[in-house]
Structure 1
Amino acid sequence: MIPSLRTPAARLALAALSLSISSALYAQNAPAPTASDWGGIGLLQTPTARMADEGELAFTASHTSPYSRYNIVLQPLPWMEGAFRYVSVANRRYGPEWLSGNQNYKDKSIDLKIRLLQESRWVPEVSAGFRDLGGTGLFSSEYLVASKRMGAFDASLGLATGYIGNRGDFRNPLTSIDDRFETRPKAQGTGSLNSDGMFRGPVGVFGGVAYQTPWEPLQLKLEYDGNDYKHEPQQNNQRQRSPFNVGATYAVNKNVHLHLGWERGDLAMFGVTLRTNLAQASSMPKLLDPPPVPLRQRKDADEAVGASESLAASAPVDWASVANQLDQNAGLRVQRISQRGSEVIVSGEQRRFYYPAQGLGRTARILDGKLPSDISWFTVQNTRLGMPIVETSIERESFVDHLEHKTELSSLAGHIEMTPPAAQYRETLYQAPPHRFDGAFNIGYQQSLGGPDGFVLFQVAGTYSANVYLSRNLWLSGTVSYNAYNNYDKFRYDAPSRLPRVRTNLRQYMTTEDLTLPSLQLTGTRRLGRDLYGMAYAGLLESMYAGVGGEVLYRPLNERWAVGVEANWVKQRDFDQRLSFRDYSVATGHASFYYMWGEERRIVSALSAGRYLAKDWGATLAVSRAFDNGVTMGAYATKTDVSSKDFGEGSFDKGIYVSVPFDFLLPRSTRARANFLWSPLYRDGGARVGHTYSLYQATSERDPEFFFDNLDAISK
């Protein structure tokens, strides 16, 4: 006989059953955020409010006929997701056969998603986003979505205008404000910012649930699609037998995910995601680096060297040998070694170690083994481009105590000082002979993506770069390049331009000659004041332009801001990249303001305003997230007085970039960086001249935060 639910025993049994079910649900992990078909975190066709871990970089390729999507997604901040993609449309051709052959149409787009609310016990996670924000607008959409975890389930529900909500389940409530929100204008496919159509048109409902199975690598997804595929771009409407999509994500490992799905009721989807977290990246073992110099035995070394009042009065030190050891083991190319009281100062350029603390630690080890005990401070004056940038001083006893595990790293930090290079008398102990020449062979690579001539156009070249130093502040640098292979012969489409062709003659520069001289620049630098730096240059500044120019930068030490001015007069080089020129010349220049935002997370912004190569006036804003380990993720946009019509497809210049220290990738320490830039279009508006050096980059060690963020490298 079943007891009534009104009895205490029944209510107790029901409560116990509910508690056991709830405990079972919450005992299983919630589904981890995974990629959608569109690359961003989501279900299949639709986004969720979830975000990847901060610093994640992911590539997702997926196919659902007739669309193949190639997405790169960045997570620069815990509350911001950015993506760019190419969509290949199998049943549409890019252009006429003479130009594109049988290449499928490629659509370019940029996405942005912002978290508005973070999930709590009762409140769901809420995010707003824009799909195809800065591309052609063919797939543009705006959405608001909420997600809530319930044990092994993560449910999402959202509203969208545009592509994601094309079913149009109800009238746009914004029509009560303005009737123009009733209809959505047709995308023009020009690559402009799609502001005219934002939040316009009917609203569609979408949502679904992700389920984390007991088998940890497998996650299942069920989705209600907000698009009915009856209003596809280019009149490419598709049949939809069902608005419900089902799929699965299988984690091969933490870096590789496989995706399978059944969409629109009758179509298979398959995809793969390759992911890594750049913020958590660290250097691989440096098997090719020399080991750090071991600490000296304190008592024996003191007796051997003896106490003295001045190094000049003590037993002779083979300073040339010390300088050589600093170069070979600490990566410091010494210019001068001097003394002031109980402090020894080494002035030179760090050429090997990416993290300044590591170079300082190795330098201090070497000096500790060579100098008598009355020297209590070691100082390294870091120079760059022949100019002193910053002096970093470390107390000898505290450094030794830390290496001998007597003090914590936090204690050592209190015995390190960073100051502007001092203008004070110091007794010179050693002056290095002038260094006259550097040279190295390398492999050069450049590419263009997404053009109608071919999806990937690229060049691989062998290069030889060299510097000839006339003095420490005056040198000649140049690069010779030989084309090993390129497919730019397919580049037949010179986009129409109403501006001087300052950049769109790329094909001619890439194909006219195999042996070229991309740069040959004479550069002079000078420290003009305590925080003021100057640079002048002349010659073949880059592959397309030669001329003269200069830059001045004011960057106070330990400040978040800097200001700079750059001015150039340049003449366009001939297509053979030798010593001949074309008729076009222009005076160009910019004033720039740099600022670093945030305490826990550093956001570096640079606003530059001035005249560009096509004689247009405007401004460029670049914003990047700088992680503690040196990785940066950023984006830029340039808008000038050139109209969208005159600029051509794209309306304005923009791009996304990632910069990663090569130190993560190689078994030998290096200061080089791997830079990836994606700019959807190559146009003449908003173009700036390139040259070999930048004062803001050269003075980057004036940021003590980066030094102390990586202070643990001091013992390596």
Structure 2
Amino acid sequence: MGAKRYLPGTAAALAVMLSGHSAVPQQNQRPVTTNFLGVPGLIDTPSAEMQPDGTLTTSVHAFDNGTTRTALTFQIAPRVQGVFRYATIDDLLIVNGERERTYDRSFDLRLQLLKETARRPAVTVGLQDFGGTGIYSSEYIVATKTLGDFTVSGGIGWGRLGTENGFSNPFGLGDRPEFEGGTGGDFEADQWFRGDAALFGGVAWRATDKLTFKAEYSSDAYEQEVEAGIVDRKTSVNLGLDYEYSPRLRLQAAYRFGSDIGIGLVYALNPKQAPAGGGTDVVPEPVLVRPSRNVAPELWLTEWLTNPRSGPVIEDSLTRALEAAGLELHSYRVSADEAQIRFFNPTYESQAQAIGRAARAATRSLPASVETLVLVPLNSRSQPGAAVVLRRSDVEAIENRPDGADEILAVAGIVDAQTLSREGLVLAPGAYPRFDWGLGPYVSISTFDPDNPLRIDLGAQLSARFEPTPGLVFSGAIRQRLIGNRDESTRESNSVLPRVRSESNLFAKTDEPFIPYLTAEYFFRPGRNLYGRLSAGLLERQFGGVSAELLWKPATGPLALGVEVNHVRQRDFDMRFGFQDLDATTGYVSAYYNHGGGYHSTLHVGQYLAGDQGATYELSRRFANGWELGAYATKTNVSSEEFGEGSFDKGIKITIPTSFLTGQPSRGERNTVIQPILRDGGARLRLQNRLYGLVSDQSGPELTEDWGRFWR
């Protein structure tokens, strides 16, 4: 196979995000504006509104008292919203007898109990800063009603939202413990809805299609900030405005408590909606309908089976048809009435779309007598997953029907490809060895260093992958940092655990070329519903060693189970071929479940890099176009005190498909993990090719969820 040149998706993703290219909100839908904490609301107070399902909002707010807030808000479900917030506050907390700048990380969760109707308001209950240090800790119940161009909100709050003109707890709950700072991370559920409560409310007036004025009465007394001299709170009334610069970008300003000015930017996109301008998929070739046996009986004869020249002709025709469809032939077997076609999909995010294209290609390249089509997509490591079995006559009859995708799914068979006979399969010429290489830029980002919350390195990466036989893969990369500031971090680890992650900044100090990974791997199918992986080498930037994994993933079921074992040693900080003395054995038993509707959950139970034992739970939402957003939390037998700041490992995962950003069909993606704090407890090995991520889109539940793209 010839060499392929490409640029990694990082550069394209960065360019598109900076240019503002993203999803366009639905038309004729009243926009939901956010407050200065990043949630739907007025200025300091929340509303009961929810954003359109799937909306991802990034907001940045700055105040003239030196406080800044950045929030990432995700509409997890139509009535459920989650928020991650990062704030810097000058001179808030006293450390070693002096007030210092505070860097605060917090999480919110909002649940809409009632949707707004013509006769009743929307009602939402919220937990604010329930998993952080508690600086912004509040709970509230709020109602919102739209009256023409006015949106009126009112509610009752606890915690910070219960500090101005408060009254006794209406639920009769006990006192709320005093705020003491702390390392954060604990949920502190015993504080929720406790202590004094207070009322808040306000109104938003949509003066024009783009301009909204806001006024509120805030029940947040800003007690900590007033005590620290950061805020001069003269009134409980705040005023603000919100301007829609574009369907994606909003500008905000506020005058708070009679003394403070704040400004903000709010950027929203929705992964459920196509990028501006739509996609640019090549229009597929139509299905070639065979003439009936009565009209052209000679085309249905099977003498071609005994003609030695027919094989190369069919192979060439099938290869060309698949290439025209953006696919690559791996192997095939053709009998008088059945064809098994195994192929790679290097083009489409959706495997269902690739299968649809392969079905069209088969109708245009196979003899008329072939009625059964067995289509087997392979993943990037040559592993087959589910096979889709179709009748050619169904493909011919259903292509142009209004409900064609549903109809073809109803008559399709989905089976484990491992159960298919491989006798007689012909390997396509040039299928192996496979060689790919790429030269392009890379971006490496670290966040939430208290000395500099955002550090970025830019450089060049040369990568290559060689697969001499099916499943045996040698791959690696070499990088050279060109510019950046990640090497300027001077933070020293104070961890009492083996320092498996807390010294990550030391791996960013080299100015010489370094090797992020260099591995030999073998991927195989040991049996029905089973997948296997063996890996050895420099497995990631900080560890090298050996890894083995076995995954049970039925072709038609929502549940998958896996086991993984690793023995690794920590690499030298220059990330070349040397190692340090720290070694670790880790292992997990894992369960994966597809809940339907794009929601997936994962549970890992086992031993982590620092030798601690516990479990990791992850919940994510995957969209049909390849976007995925999720959150995870890990709890082990390491105490909050031993873990240090943050109390336990947690984070947010975001996957952005290249096709969404560029409008071009692609299976490329950019993966980002946002961790509020990087410590040693609950740390896992960062393997590139864990099996579930490789094979999940080849199984029945994932295929059927995305089956609407079959005819695209």
The normalised TM-score by structure 2 is 0.88
- 1:265 partner letter: G
**Counterpart residue number, 1:185:** 179
Pair 177,212 (structure 1): closer, same or farther in 2 beyond 3 Å = closer
**Alignment partners' CA distance in 2, 1:91 and 1:343:** 75
Q: How does 1:246-265 map to 2 (within 5 A)?
A: 246-265=239-258
Pair 196,409 (structure 1): closer, same or farther in 2 beyond 3 Å = closer
- Is 2:285 the counterpart of 1:293? yes
- 1:371 partner letter: L
Pair 590,426 (structure 1): closer, same or farther in 2 beyond 3 Å = closer
**Counterpart residue number, 1:13:** none
- 2:408 partner letter: L
Aligned residues: 676
**Counterpart residue number, 1:460:** 458
CA RMSD of aligned residues (A): 2.9
**Counterpart residue number, 1:699:** 695
Pair 30,557 (structure 1): closer, same or farther in 2 beyond 3 Å = closer
**Counterpart residue number, 2:162:** 165
**Counterpart residue number, 1:129:** 126
- Is 2:72 the counterpart of 1:72? yes
Pair 500,325 (structure 1): closer, same or farther in 2 beyond 3 Å = same
* CA contact 1:589–1:611 (8 Å) conserved in 2: yes
- Is 2:34 the counterpart of 1:35? yes
* CA contact 2:158–2:198 (8 Å) conserved in 1: yes
- Is 2:206 the counterpart of 1:212? yes
Q: SS of the residue aligned with 2:583?
A: strand
Q: CA deviation at 1:325?
A: 2.3
**Alignment partners' CA distance in 1, 2:615 and 2:140:** 30
Q: How does 1:36-185 map to 2 (within 5 A)?
A: 36-66=35-65, 67-90=67-90, 105-173=102-170, 176-178=172-174, 181-185=175-179
* CA contact 1:41–1:50 (8 Å) conserved in 2: yes
Structure 1: gaps of 5 or more residues: 1-28, 97-101
**Alignment partners' CA distance in 1, 2:425 and 2:553:** 30
Q: CA deviation at 1:435?
A: 2.4
**Counterpart residue number, 2:347:** 352
Q: CA deviation at 1:466?
A: 1.6
Q: CA deviation at 1:88?
A: 2.6
Q: How does 1:520-599 map to 2 (within 5 A)?
A: 520-598=518-596
Find the partner of 1:373 among 351, 368, 371: 368
* CA contact 2:139–2:157 (8 Å) conserved in 1: yes
After alignment, is 487-496 or 142-151 more displaced?
142-151
* CA contact 2:321–2:365 (8 Å) conserved in 1: no
Q: SS of the residue aligned with 1:278?
A: coil
Q: 1:590-612: per-residue Cα shift (whole Å, max 9, x none)?
A: 111111225xx332111111100
**Counterpart residue number, 1:20:** none
- 1:202 partner letter: D
**Alignment partners' CA distance in 1, 2:226 and 2:321:** 63
Structure of larger gyration radius: 1
**Alignment partners' CA distance in 2, 1:75 and 1:470:** 45
**Alignment partners' CA distance in 2, 1:200 and 1:272:** 33
Pair 284,612 (structure 1): closer, same or farther in 2 beyond 3 Å = farther
**Counterpart residue number, 1:11:** none
**Alignment partners' CA distance in 1, 2:373 and 2:183:** 61
Structure 2: gaps of 5 or more residues: 1-27
- 1:654 partner letter: K
After alignment, is 566-575 or 163-172 more displaced?
163-172
* CA contact 1:454–1:490 (8 Å) conserved in 2: no
The normalised TM-score by structure 1 is 0.88
Pair 487,150 (structure 1): closer, same or farther in 2 beyond 3 Å = same
Q: How does 1:528-677 map to 2 (within 5 A)?
A: 528-598=526-596, 601-677=597-673
Pair 492,406 (structure 1): closer, same or farther in 2 beyond 3 Å = closer
**Alignment partners' CA distance in 2, 1:310 and 1:47:** 75
**Counterpart residue number, 2:301:** 308
After alignment, is 86-95 or 196-205 more displaced?
86-95
* CA contact 1:481–1:516 (8 Å) conserved in 2: yes
Q: 1:104-136: per-residue Cα shift (whole Å, max 9, x none)?
A: 643222211111222344443221112222222
**Alignment partners' CA distance in 2, 1:481 and 1:661:** 23
* CA contact 2:458–2:483 (8 Å) conserved in 1: yes
* CA contact 2:529–2:555 (8 Å) conserved in 1: yes
* CA contact 1:628–1:706 (8 Å) conserved in 2: no
Find the partner of 2:330 among 332, 335, 351: 335
Q: How does 1:381-460 map to 2 (within 5 A)?
A: 381-384=376-379, 385-404=381-400, 408-421=404-417, 423-425=419-421, 428=424, 430-433=426-429, 434-460=432-458
Pair 124,286 (structure 1): closer, same or farther in 2 beyond 3 Å = closer
**Counterpart residue number, 2:273:** 280
Q: 1:468-496: per-residue Cα shift (whole Å, max 9, x none)?
A: 22320222111111212221232001231
**RCO (CA 8 Å, sep 6+): is it higher in 1 or 2?**
2
Q: 1:258-312: per-residue Cα shift (whole Å, max 9, x none)?
A: 222222123333222111111223596555x655335547559996982222652
- 1:451 partner letter: D
After alignment, is 566-575 or 690-699 more displaced?
690-699
Find the partner of 1:222 among 206, 215, 220: 215
Q: 1:6-27: per-residue Cα shift (whole Å, max 9, x none)?
A: xxxxxxxxxxxxxxxxxxxxxx
Pair 612,486 (structure 1): closer, same or farther in 2 beyond 3 Å = same
**Alignment partners' CA distance in 2, 1:183 and 1:347:** 64
**Alignment partners' CA distance in 2, 1:233 and 1:313:** 91
After alignment, is 195-204 or 159-168 more displaced?
195-204
Q: CA deviation at 1:346?
A: 0.7
* CA contact 1:30–1:212 (8 Å) conserved in 2: no
**Counterpart residue number, 1:19:** none
Q: SS of the residue aligned with 1:447?
A: strand
**Counterpart residue number, 1:25:** none
Pair 406,38 (structure 1): closer, same or farther in 2 beyond 3 Å = closer
Q: SS of the residue aligned with 1:570?
A: strand
After alignment, is 187-196 or 604-613 more displaced?
187-196
